[in-house]
Structure formats: structure tokens, C-alpha cells
Structure 1
């Protein structure tokens, strides 16, 4: 018998049922709660154990005995939980109750049992309880409890949380107050909860969110991302030590979490919410911060711009991640079209609109303030108790009361509808580009793709920036991220090919004859620069350049290259130069052949994927040469003759493969070691002209006599073939290197 059982028996003279999981034990524990209505030091441990035991019985009853929940509903056990929480010395019991409720709702599987627990509105009143959130432990358990509740949401259970009559949704409203909490796990839980709420197919609930919280929450969340981006940029500017990148890694991962959360919201396809989020994202972050930072502050001196400019390296990374992760057409199309198509006049108009209007440069009203105003307005119209949600019961047999209720409900819906229309009129997409294109305009652009000259490129400042940074003057950092932007933009499935083709980005076009000549010239420059001894172009940058070049000029389906003879000649020259560069290592490196085979195998086994490259924080640092930095070889410059030889081999492979593919030539020479020429186990081998060494193979339980065959490529162990003299059967083989 436990200590707690002895205490209970001695205090109350009652014997606890032997079966802990039974209705009788629940009744006994209910009696304990009745006799201990006030928390004290003497009964605190007793109540803690009682609450835990009650949750265990309810979980058991969910699977085995429905009468347990009948009794729970009859007695209203959660009312005791609420009473304990309201007592002054209830801090410890609050933690226990939140923990108990979390475990309880996590383990309830039966839908009817869940509805029993949610009835009588006790759960909403617990959510609205004024907890001491300065206590980290209480905050953690509270948010975990809310997240667990959100996992139970569906089109039926939502009615227990969202009160359409009073227009109240405490589960959602209380949770989003923690959207910018300093603790990462709390923020993640809030995001999970919001996604669980948004995906419930309930129009009235979505209307409440749109009318009361959407603009406020999304504007504050986007501003939270904006502040994080500024901190991230500051880290990149000031931290140049690649061996001290822990803080940058954390900041990068958090930014990726932000972007993926936005994409998760867009994927739910709730149009009204997506429009609000898109509006806030474009107006507060993507245009005034990302787009503006692509060009230098003094590029257009007439614009008075108090904004903080991000470093060009930072902004290229941030934009590349947006195109990689976000697949919501209104956002990525507008962003892509601004970057590719905006001329000087349009740039000045955008900068005037976003740079000088104070509404875009000042933070939004704090979410807590907005929600507090909303709650005050609700309380002004409601006679409910401050700490409880009021639920009015209407007698449907009373005609007058029913008519009064229906009239009030109609009035509330009309007001809500008018408010929603006002909001939606303010958030309709106002794209300067794609959304305003007519079908005729799209047709005209697709039929008349432009071949941009230098002067035309100069008239498109944002696109000009991407082209110019492809020049690897000091290092290839900016070039790498500019290529990443172009690749992620052109391969994003939600960007119309018409937008890309308007500037000769023919990635999605079957006819690539009108490819952007200036861009292809820059890519060929990168290829030729990569073959120069001591080049500052890393393998990853060369790989991205080749990938983009192929997408622009080569139709893989039909195996047709549209590359001009001039540029094909340049690629051939780069191939020959790469061959000459590699040839100089023949006499220097004894293991060159082994390195050659190994590097080829690595290129086949580990093709580069841009999503993994962009996630690597080491790419945000100045290119290093030392292997001690822990940076992968292809992401840094070579150190020493051996690594220079390895780099030359990789460059040779990449450019040679490109040349062969553009010429529709099948690879016949690599790998040097052909798998079909190698011996395999159980092959029969003619030993008449072979040198053999007798040996013994020691195994755990036996010893086997074998013969070692001297071979140039493989280590081979054979046993004589008893059926054919002078022949042997291969029992083990592997490559020597």
C-alpha cells in the first residue's frame, strides 16, 4: 500500500478500492476532491496524486468503460480543477493540472469521450485563466496543453472552442499571443496550433480569424521575420570566423523555419487568409527589405529612403530561399516579375511607394495591444464574467426568445460580413505586374520574347544586379547566391513561363532559341575562369553555373542544343583548358589514377542538390582553403597539390560532361574501370597464365585453403575447380583501391 493511500485512509477513514482503474476508484477520488476544496501545504501532495490518478482512470475509461465518462459529466470534475487554479497558492497545482490535462487529452481516442471532456465550457475557462507566464514552467505546460487541444480539432470539435454566438475563440487568440516568445519550442508549438486551426473546414471560424486577428497576427509575424532578418544580416556582416558559426547556424535555421511556416499556411488554400498574408509579406518584407536591398542606396538619389539596407550577400541568400520554399503563385510571380521586369521608372515608383510611406517603415501595432482592444470591445457588448466565457442557452420552444436570438445572430453576421468585405477590399492583390496582365499581353510576350542588350539590361536595375554579380572578381560568393536565385526562380513550378521568357530565361520553354545571350555569356565566363590555375571559383559554383546553362540552352527531352556556335566553341576551349590543367599532374601525383576513379565515383554517387547547398551556413562565409575548417572539399578552395589535383579532376569531369551532353554524345570512356570487366563471386577463372599464392583464410569456426590471384585491379581469392584442371572458382573479390 502506497504512502498516499495510507494518508488518505488515516485522514478520512475510507478504504480505496483495490482496482485503481475502475468507476469505484473515480468516485473515491471525487470524494477526496470534495473534502479538500482548499489547497494547503498539508494536502498539496495528496491533491497532486489524486489529479494524476483521475486522469489515468479517464484514459482507461475511454477504452474500457463508458460509465466513467458518464460519472465525469455528472459531477463536473473539471470544475474542481478550475477552482484550484484560482486559489492564491495554486502555482504548484496549476503546473500539475496543466500536465494532467495535457496527458489526458493526448491519450483520449474515443470521440465521444473527447466531447464529454470539452462539455460545459470548463476547458475554455481554463484556457482563459490568468496564469503567471513569468514562470517558464507554467508557460511551457500551458502552450503544450493548447497545442494538444489543437490536434483534436475537426469540423465537429471546433464548436467546443469557437463560440459563434459570442464571437470568441480563446484557444486561438490566447495561443497567438506567444508567437514571438523567446523560447523556440513555444514558438514552434504556436505555429503548429495555428496550422491545426486554419485547416479546419469551418467558414464561420475562418471569418472570425479574418475579421478579428488575421491582419494583426500576420503583420506582427512578418515584422518579427523582418527583425530577425536584420539580425541575421548583422551576423553575416560581423562574423567572418568560419570556425565560430554556431550562432549563424541557429539564425539560418530559424529563418528556414519562418519560410516553411509561411509555405505551410499557403498550402492550406484558405484564400481569405492567404490574401492577407500575401499582402503583409509583400508590403512589409519582400518589397521594402528584399527588393530594395538588391541595388545600392545611391543608385537612385532622388528617393529619400530611411530604410536599413541589407548586405548583398544576405539578400541573395534570403531571396533564393523564398523561391526555393514558397510555392504560392501570387507571391512568387509578383516577386519574380519585379526582379526581372521592373525598369528604372517602375523602380522609382516602387521605392517612392514603399520607401516614403511611413505605414511600411514603422512596425505594426503590437499584437497584444490589438487583441486587448478586441477583448475590451467584446466585453463591452457582453455581460459575461471576466474570467469565463458566457454561453447563452435558448429555449427553442419559446417563440419570442428564439426570434430574438435569430435576429441578433443575423445582425452580428451582417456586421461581420461588412467588416470582412472592407478588409478584403483592402487586401486585394495590387500587383504591378503579372496579376494585371491580360491574356493578350501574356500571348504577346510569349510570341515576342526579348533578346536583351546591355542597354536594355541596364534599364532593369534588379535584373542587372543579378547579371553583374556573376562576375567573380574577388571571390565567388555573390556569384554562387546569384546563381541560386536564378535557379530557384526559374525552376519554381508556380512562376509562369511567360514571365521568365520575357527576359530570355528559357528554362521552362521547349524552344530555347531565344535564350538570354548576356546571361549565357556570363555562364561561359565562369566555365573558362574555373579552368585557370588557382581560380577562385569553387566546385559548387561551377556546378550551379553548368546546371543553369543546360536548362537555358538544352532540351533534354528531345536532346537538342540551341547553344550558338560561338558559345559552343568557348565551352570546347574550356574543356581543352581543363584537360591541359589536369595533364600537368600526371608526373607529380603517383596516385592520380586512383584519385581520378574516386572523384568520378563521388560525382556519380553524390549529385549536388541546391536545397542542401543553401542550408549550409559555411557558404555565407568567405571561401576558405583549410580542411581544418570542417568545410566539405567542393565548398572551399583547394589546399596543397593533392587537393589542387582533385579540383582539376572535378572541373574536367563537369565541363567534359557538359560538352558531351550539348553535342548529344554518349559517354563511353568513363569510368575507367568497367563493372562488366571485373570478376564476381562464383565466376570461373583460367589460372594457367596466372601467378598464385597459397594462403589460409581463418574464420570463426573453420579454416579454408584458398589461392590469392595476382591481378592489376582486384584482390581475388579462389579455390580450385575440381571439374576442370587449371581453373578456379572465385570465392571473394574486391577492388584493390
Structure 2
């Protein structure tokens, strides 16, 4: 480009090294020859400015003489001269872009001082750009943000002029605080935060911000937030059909950004800023718009937002803002205040809420009558007398008589305390509204927001714990001796409604109710809940059990849903912070999944979702009941990871049925393995080199998640896919194993397929029987021992509902480590199951070197009666089973004619032993891959 414009330059030639002082001198010569911007040289000037920026960044790291020359020649003046000529959009955009890059990459303070000297940067800041151009606006605000990041105790003097009492960087930025473009508004917030952080040690700038900008800026900011809230409320009222959820989500996200910005200002801990901001927020936004809307009738013209929107926004306030003077005063009004906080002196603030849409900037006139109202409102609300003799804390359960509760649950000390409280209690209309909104008779629309508000208040770091204890509200992780009866009553009622067939309580509401109830009645390691409340809670749990019984089915889908819901509940507990970021909960509860709303935040649709809901309700109330009674969970989950065979476990396989196979993975990899089938799992093992008859597990998967199919072109092969259990019922299950299993012949292939198919059926059947036992439904005869129910409390691990393999995982020198892990229990030879030793026969079983008689027999029995397999005799005899149930073989006739099962099993065992000794099997006995 410079070659094409050589006629405009003249003078010295262009240096070859662009990163040098000589090249900067050449660029300076170009600028001096092109002081006027024209159509012909504007591209040259833009390229020159870009090159100068590149040289300055290089000089900052390598050559300080570059900045000496830049300052000596006052080259920044050329930039200003180009801007003042109204050279057009193209040049302005390129100049702002290069300046932004320059200040972003300068690291040395000396270089920065060179650039900021002579006040040229402030001249660029106040230049009248065409901000209607989006690109110029974007680069300009980005330039201001970059400059604000360079603010510190030394550089602030380059931006704040004490003589003229002017701070262009700050005053120009806050002009765009309500710009239509969200990225511009975010940049303005960043700039102001950087200014507030950098001015703490500069008293002159501190006074400037306080006297000149703080009040008008915060006043405009609060007005802007208030108008935004009114727009959000209108969107909720007009979007009952969920058609404008995108707009609603944007409005909620904007409100969250406002709250985070306010909290960022407050945590800077600049006292005068916090005082001004707290006063504006309380008296001009939170009290007149948020809190006052809780008690104003819906038909009243004074009400500007609905109660559910108010509760939702207040929950966000307490979850995000933790500045103690602000949240403490706000909580005092909500929990302990009355309408006296809205005295004639503060009526103006209510009118401000009404005038937000018209432009509430005129409220500056009322500043003198509102000063100090924020702190006084909260403090004064704790004084006075109660209008009536009723007490909120002493509401009785509907299912109990007043006389019974009085006689059984009120002690002399509580009567004395209640009599003392009557003198200090007073009317609390806001708290009354909060508690009344917990009614879930029709739906839980308001109840969910109330629960979120109570949770946010109880977990707020800035609220005084004495206030919560005085009102007996739930305080997490704190010792307590009493709790709010009315709150616990309403929570238990919500749980009871959730357990009804036609209940309109969403799962999120139920989970939050359980959480708040635990916080209310658990004090350390003990539970202080009254017997009457515990009885009502147990009644709700029984109702949930009866509800789930209605959906209990013997189909496979019920077992999958049962385990999926338990995994989902335990792995993804409710996060209230995320819940309050979801705009969809602001809309009336819906029962259709077409809205895309998460299942826990809406009502069920169809029998499948109703079943899922009934399962989840049962889990929640069962878990709550056990925790309050101090009892451990012993029956859930149905499969515990610690009780399953895992990869690299070393197992005793001396009495196990194994089938040799070649495993060909999807990517073409091959591995020689032996297939073993357990009660719940199938395992692929390879021989252990140090111990004869032992094997190392290379893969273990649940039978219930397995799919087996034949391979079309190979009668000796099976395609086996095992899916990973997922906590999301809508997610596509991911396979953890997908491979072809190739056996020695088609006979072994048929046996393996039958073994796996029958194992899957039996595993699912056993789990369904365990679910039936959980629901107090009849269990098949003889299955209770297998399932572990009805066992005494001091039962050994072998008698527990789950299988333990510690015996087979012990060290080689452990004398008790020779117990076989697998024993044949299926109708088809070779079905492996955990062999549980009897409590009355603790002596070691037969050693691996002395095979038991079980190795020569099929040991076939039904898996449901597998517990009839007893331990070997104390004398160490070769009898491994005292009773063996033989059944008719259900296999094809051609298999019977071509296969001797006893010989096959002996052959497979000899192959496994040969493999463990690294010996090739005799070819005459058949190849095993």
C-alpha cells in the first residue's frame, strides 16, 4: 500500500525492519505529509496509525526510545487532528480499534504514562462521535472499558482533573447506563465498578462522585430497574400460553444482571456509596414496588406487580445481595413489619412506583422527606402492639383437636413463653401473606415462590440470625429448641397434597418443602419435631406409598423408571439458585412437556409421567421420614456400586461355569476372555497368573441393561450391548460395551445366549420383587431370603440384601480367601451366582487345588431359590451343596444330541486352568480360541 502511495510521502525511504525506531520515524514523516484527510489518502492514514500502534506495542517490550520519540513529537496530536476533521465512519472505527488494541497490550506503567500525558486521551473520550452507528458505539465503549481497567492510584490523576472538577471517563460512560444494547450496558457497569474500586484512596475524586454523580446516577439506575420490573410483570400477565418465554427469559436475565451489579457495588464497601445506594433501593424500589405489592389487593390501582412476581424477585434479591444493612432492613419489614412503614412520609415512594413508566426522575424533589427511611423502616417495624390476640406461631394442625394439642404438646415453659410473647407481638401483614400463600389446595403457583423466599432468607449471609430465631424460622446448621408450628403445618399439608392422586404440587415444591422442614426440626443430630407433626408426616408417607402402588406394574419399564428416578434424585438435588434463574416458573404451572420445561418444574402429563412423579414423591417422603427418625436407608438403591463386581477384581472361579470366547470390539480390537454370569452381572475374566483357578475381571456389566442378539452371518457369534444407566430418562443411553462374542461352536453360542437371556430375566425379576417388598406388596414365596428382607438386624454381610465379594478379593495368603465366588444356579449349565457362606459354618471352604464335587455337576437350581445353597461342612468335605434342585433342561433337541453337558463343563474348566498356566490346551480336546 505504501508503494502505491509513494507520491504522497516523499522524503526518506521506508526502512526494511518494521519493528524499529527508524520505522516509527518514517511513519511520523507520513503523518506530517498527510495532515488533511482526503478520499485519496485515508487508507494510507489508517494503515499508518495501525503500524504506529504495532511499533509502540513492540517498543513497550523491547525499546524504550520508541516512546521517547512518540512523546517528543507529540504524535497523539495527529490522532486528534484526524478525528476533528470529521473524516468519516471508516477512519473513526479504525482509529478507535487501534487505540483499544494499543492500551490493551501496553504493560509497562512508564509507557502508559507517556500515552496518557498531555490530556489527549480525555480529548478523545469527550469527542462527539456518531453514536447512532453501532460499530462506532461498540468500539468507543470498549475503548472506555479498556481505559477503566488501567485505573489505579497513579493513573487516576490522568483522568480526573481536580482543577476543572471533571472526570470524563466516568461521566461519559454513565450516559449509556440504559442503552438499548445489552453489551453496552454491561460495559458501563464494568467501567463504573472499576472507577469505584480505584477511587477509594483519592478523597477529591471521592467527593466528586458523591456530590456530583452518585445520587443522580443511582436515582436513574433505580428508576430504570423499576420500569424493567413492571415490563417483566406485564409479560407474565400476558403470556399465560407460554408464547413469549424468550422475551420473559431475557427480562429475568436482565434483572439478575442488575442485582449482581448492585451487589458488586455494595461489596466494594465504600461507605458513602453504600449509604446512598441502600437508601435508594429500599425507599424507591424494594419497599414501594416489591414488598408493598404483597398486600395490595389485585384489583387495586396501587398494585403495580403481581404477588408471585414480587415473591420471585425478592427471592432473587436475598439470594444475590448480602450487604447486611440492606437485606437486614428488608427482611425486618417482610418478616416483622406492618403497613406503618408506608407512612404519609413515604407515600411519595409509592407514587414513584406508579410513575416509573412515565419517567420517575422528578422524585429527586422528595429527597429531603425520604432521607434515612431505609434503615428506619426496618427498625421501627419491630415496635408497637399486636392488633389482635391471635398468634401466627400457634396455628394447630387441621387433623388434630385444639384440646388434644393443648393437653399433650404444650408444656408449662411454652405456656409462659407464649404469654410473654403476646405483649411484643404485633400485626405482620407481609408475613401473614407469605404463610397464607403456602396453601396448595388448588395449585402451588404461589407456594413455590414462598418456599424459595424462605430458603433465600434463611441462607442469606447478611440477615441477623436473631431475627430468624425470634420468628422461629428455619436456620440451617444451628441448634434450636423450638420451631414455627404454622410453617411446619403448612409444609406437611403441601406434602400431603403432593401424595394425592390429583395433587397439583410440583416436584420442585415438594423437594423444597422437605428441605425447609428438615431445617426447621433438625437440631444437630437430634430431631425436635412434635409427635403430632411426625404422625401427620407419616400419614403423608403412607399416602405416597398407596399412590405408587396404583402404578406398580410387572413391566420392564417400571423397573427402569424406578431406578432412573432414584439416580436423578440423588445425583441432581434441587438447586434453588438455578431454580430462581428459570423464567418458566413465573408462568402458571402447565402439564404439557411441549413447553420444554423441566419435569420437576411442571405437572405430569400422561401415565408415564404420573408414574415417574409417584415414584419421586415416594422417594422424597421416605427419605424425609427416615432422616427425622434417625434411621438409615437399607433398601435403596436396589443396586449398590460397592456390592458389585468391579474391573480388576480377583475372583475364585474354581466352582464357576465359564465359556471361552473371543471378544471383538466395535473398533476391531480382539481379546480372549471367559464369560461368567452372576445373579445381577455378567463378567469377562482372564486367568490370574499367580493362583490356579482364579481370574481377573476385565469387564463387568449389569444383566438388566444388556441386549443380546445373534449375528446374521455367523452362528457361533453373539452381538452384546450393555448400556450405561442414565439419570436422565430422556437421554439416549450410552453403551459401555458393544462387541461381538465369538464362541468355539454354535452349541456354546446357544448356551451362552440362553444363559444371558435367562440371567437378565431373573435379575429384573428379583429387583421387581424387592420393589414389591418396599411397597408392602406380596412377594413370591421363597424369594424373601434371596432378596434379603426379613433378616435380623445383626445378620452377617452374606445375609444382607446385596451381594458382597470381600472374601474373594482378599490377599493370596488369607486362609479364608478360597471360597468360590460363582456357583451354578440356573437351569442352563454354567449360570454363575454369588455363593454365600452360612453364618453357622465359618470354616474355610475347599481350596482351589482340591476341586469340590460341584465342579463335576451342573448344580442347577432356580435363581429365585438360590439362597438354599448352603456352605460346605466344617470338616472341609467336598460337598458344596447340601441340596441341589434339578430341573428339566429346556434346550433344543439337536443340542441334546450333540453335546454332553458334563463333559463340556469339564473341558471349559480344563481350558481355563491351562490358560492360567500359560499352557496350550490339547488340540484333540477342541480349540477355545
TM-score, length-normalised on structure 2? Answer: 0.68
Aligned to 1:432: 376
Contact conserved, 1:272 with 1:424, CA < 8 A, in 2?
no
Greater relative contact order (CA < 8 Å, ≥ 6 in sequence): 1
Q: Aligned to 2:166, what secondary structure does the other structure show?
A: coil
Aligned to 2:481: 513
Deviates more, 1:424-433 or 1:657-666: 424-433
Aligned to 2:532: 566
Distance 1:575 1:499, change over 3 A: same
Aligned to 1:447: none
1:721 to partner: Cα distance: 4.4
Deviates more, 1:222-231 or 1:308-317: 308-317
Aligned to 1:107: 105
Aligned to 1:526: 494
Distance 1:584 1:432, change over 3 A: same
Alignment of 1:216-231 (within 5 A): 216-231=216-231
Residue 699 of structure 2 corresponds to residue 732 of structure 1 = yes
1:72 to partner: Cα distance: 1.0
Residue 315 of structure 2 corresponds to residue 320 of structure 1 = yes
Alignment of 1:179-328 (within 5 A): 179-200=177-198, 201=200, 202-242=202-242, 244-297=244-297, 307-328=302-323
Aligned to 2:163: 165
- Structure 1 residue runs of 5 or longer lacking an equivalent are 300-304, 371-421, 442-449
1:544 to partner: Cα distance: 0.7
Rounded to whole Å, the distance in 2 between the matches of 1:245 and 1:255 is: 15
Aligned to 1:681: 647
Distance 1:42 1:252, change over 3 A: same
Rounded to whole Å, the distance in 2 between the matches of 1:74 and 1:307 is: 66
Distance 1:346 1:224, change over 3 A: closer
1:553 to partner: Cα distance: 1.6
Alignment of 1:313-462 (within 5 A): 313-346=308-341, 352=347, 354-355=349-350, 363-365=359-361, 427-428=371-372, 430-435=374-379, 452-453=393-394, 459-462=427-430
Aligned to 1:374: none
1:514 to partner: Cα distance: 3.1
- Structure 2 residue runs of 5 or longer lacking an equivalent are 384-390, 397-421, 706-929
Distance 1:543 1:506, change over 3 A: closer
Across the aligned residues of Structure 1 and Structure 2, the Cα RMSD in angstroms comes to: 3.0
Q: Aligned to 2:176, what secondary structure does the other structure show?
A: coil
Contact conserved, 1:340 with 1:463, CA < 8 A, in 2?
yes
Rounded to whole Å, the distance in 2 between the matches of 1:514 and 1:207 is: 50
Rounded to whole Å, the distance in 1 between the matches of 2:261 and 2:276 is: 15
1:474 to partner: Cα distance: 2.9
Rounded to whole Å, the distance in 2 between the matches of 1:632 and 1:56 is: 52
Rounded to whole Å, the distance in 2 between the matches of 1:681 and 1:25 is: 67
Alignment of 1:23-34 (within 5 A): 23-34=21-32
Distance 1:13 1:68, change over 3 A: closer
Aligned length: 669
1:74 to partner: Cα distance: 0.9
Rounded to whole Å, the distance in 2 between the matches of 1:365 and 1:622 is: 34
Rounded to whole Å, the distance in 1 between the matches of 2:552 and 2:298 is: 52
Aligned to 1:118: 116
Aligned to 1:653: 619
Contact conserved, 2:100 with 2:143, CA < 8 A, in 1?
yes
Contact conserved, 1:243 with 1:629, CA < 8 A, in 2?
no
Contact conserved, 2:684 with 2:697, CA < 8 A, in 1?
yes
Q: Which deviations, in whole Å up to 9, do the C-alpha atoms of 1:553-595 show, x marking residues without a partner?
A: 212xx31212111101111111122122222333354333332
Deviates more, 1:619-628 or 1:18-27: 619-628
Contact conserved, 1:475 with 1:536, CA < 8 A, in 2?
yes
Larger radius of gyration: 2
Aligned to 1:488: 456
Distance 1:502 1:349, change over 3 A: farther
1:90 to partner: Cα distance: 3.9
Contact conserved, 1:284 with 1:360, CA < 8 A, in 2?
no
Q: Which deviations, in whole Å up to 9, do the C-alpha atoms of 1:431-478 show, x marking residues without a partner?
A: 23555699xx9xxxxxxxx86346999932111111111112332121
Contact conserved, 1:354 with 1:360, CA < 8 A, in 2?
no
Deviates more, 1:210-219 or 1:4-13: 4-13
Rounded to whole Å, the distance in 2 between the matches of 1:283 and 1:437 is: 14
1:639 to partner: Cα distance: 2.2
Rounded to whole Å, the distance in 2 between the matches of 1:430 and 1:314 is: 22
Rounded to whole Å, the distance in 1 between the matches of 2:694 and 2:513 is: 53
